[in-house]
């Protein structure tokens, strides 16, 4: 099941789960797929995504799924619709 992530807390609570995060960056015109335990998908990390702030400033959106195929489909759908670049994160892609 695909879930929209609207706050840092929501994402922090998913850290110990398996799964994938679709991070959409409006200013960068980019959609990035992470595993949920990637440091770039961790709001506590200084380099991590910040869903609360992104929502407040309307600079991005985030989606979570336990299933890679489902996350991948969502990422592709968004990147096609918005004509954004779709990137699989090079750090956590394994």
Chain contacts with Zn ion (rule: CB under 5 A): 34, 38, 40, 89, 91-92
Q: How far is the CB of 33 from Zn ion (least distance, A)?
A: 8
Q: β-strand 85-88 against 30-35: which pairing, if any? A: parallel
Closer residue to Zn ion, CB minimum distance, 24 or 38: 38
The answer to whether the beta carbons of residues 35 and 25 sit under 8 Å apart is: no
Cβ closest to Zn ion, residue 27 vs residue 90: 90
Q: How far is the CB of 6 from Zn ion (least distance, A)?
A: 20
Shortest spacing between CB 10 and Zn ion, in angstroms: 18
53 vs 92 by CB, closer to Zn ion: 92
CB 26 within 8 A of CB 79: no
Using the minimum distance from each CB to Zn ion, give the nearer residue, 11 or 92.
Answer: 92
CB 7 within 8 Å of CB 52: yes
Let me know how long the chain is.
Answer: 94
Half-sphere exposure of 28 (CA within 13 A, CB side): 12
Smallest gap from Cβ 35 to Zn ion, in A, equals: 6
């Amino acid at each position: 099941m695909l879930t929209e992530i609207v706050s840092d807390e929501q994402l922090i609570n998913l850290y110990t789960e398996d799964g994938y995060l679709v991070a959409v960056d409006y200013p960068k015109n980019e959609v990035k797929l992470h595993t949920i335990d990637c440091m770039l998908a961790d709001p506590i990390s200084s380099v991590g995504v910040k869903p609360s702030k992104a929502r407040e400033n309307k600079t991005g959106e985030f989606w979570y799924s336990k299933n890679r195929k489902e996350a991948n489909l969502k990422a592709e759908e968004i990147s096609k619709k918005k004509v954004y670049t779709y990137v699989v994160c090079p750090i956590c892609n394994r």
